[in-house]
């Protein structure tokens, strides 16, 4: 992703603006000015605003997936890898730009009127659940653990966003430890 390329710069700028102010609150002209391109170039790269929204969602999915996987890979045991999910959340919540999960937000804003956005949000969350499922399986946990941890992660995101504090990450992590211990014990 070369930021000097107009297309990538547009998507990155749109991602930041949409995250900071909401998708519907950012007009094409504001995006044009922030990305430093002409309207003609904007509409040369993307046929419509909704196509930019979809490109932003793809970028968010890739960036989230890569960031999470990088954090998880640093942990050495299967159990630590499950908990690393919540350490990743903690780091994310502490960023000034954190304003909640972009997929939850875009689903809330556009899911009811844009099937594309709703589908992509659903796919993203399913992908996360599969990822947790894989980690959970590698830890030898029964299949009910993964949805529980995924729900914890979702709840931590919305709680941290609305409360404006990163506390929920640590609380979710502690809950995850309890759930993991119980699941592994039930398996043994």
Residue 134 and residue 172 in contact, taking contact as beta carbons nearer than 8 Å: no
Backbone Cα Rg of the chain = 18
For DNA, give the closer residue by CB, 39 or 108.
39
| Binding partner of 68, given a second copy, DNA, none, CB within 5-8 angstroms per partner class | none
Structure tokens of 48? 């419509």
Contact 89, 169 (CB under 8 A): yes
Measured distance CA(71)–CA(145) in Å, rounded: 20
Question: Of 91 and 142, which CB lies nearer to a second copy in the complex structure?
Answer: 142
CA distances from 60 to 10, 14, 16, 40 (A): 14, 11, 10, 25
Question: Could you tell which of DNA, a second copy, none binds residue 27, using a CB distance below 5 to 8 A set by kind?
Answer: DNA
How many C-alpha atoms does 69 have within 13 Å on its Cβ side?
11
Q: State in angstroms the smallest separation of the CB of 147 from a second copy.
A: 4
Q: Among a second copy, DNA, none, what binds residue 111 when CB lies within 5 to 8 Å by partner kind?
A: a second copy
Please identify, using beta-carbon distances, which residue of 5 and 58 lies nearer to a second copy. Answer: 58
Residues that bind a second copy (CB under 8 A): 20-22, 24-25, 99-101, 103-113, 118, 121-122, 125-126, 144, 147-148, 150-159, 161-164, 167-168, 171-172, 174-175, 178-179, 182
Tokens of 76: 């050495």
Q: Which positions lie near DNA, rule CB under 7 A?
A: 24, 26-30, 37-41, 43-44, 47-50
The binder of 26, among DNA, a second copy, none, by C-beta within 5 to 8 A per type, is: DNA
């Amino acid at each position: 992703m070369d930021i000097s390329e107009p297309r990538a710069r547009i998507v990155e700028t749109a991602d930041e603006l949409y995250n900071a102010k909401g998708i519907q609150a950012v007009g094409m002209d504001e995006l044009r000015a922030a990305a430093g391109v002409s309207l003609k170039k904007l509409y040369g790269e993307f046929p419509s605003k909704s196509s930019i929204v979809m490109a932003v969602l793809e970028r968010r999915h890739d960036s989230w997936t890569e960031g999470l996987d990088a954090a998880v890979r640093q942990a050495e045991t299967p159990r630590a890898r499950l908990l690393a999910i919540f350490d990743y959340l903690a780091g994310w919540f502490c960023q000034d730009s954190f304003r909640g999960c972009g997929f939850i937000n875009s689903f809330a804003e556009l899911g009811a009127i844009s099937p594309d956005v709703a589908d992509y949000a659903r796919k993203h969350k399913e992908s996360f659940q599969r990822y947790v499922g894989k980690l959970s399986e590698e830890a030898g946990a029964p299949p009910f653990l993964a949805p529980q941890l995924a729900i914890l992660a979702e709840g931590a995101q919305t709680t941290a966003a609305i409360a404006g504090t990163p506390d929920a990450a640590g609380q979710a992590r502690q809950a995850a430890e309890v759930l993991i211990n119980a699941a592994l014990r039930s398996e043994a």
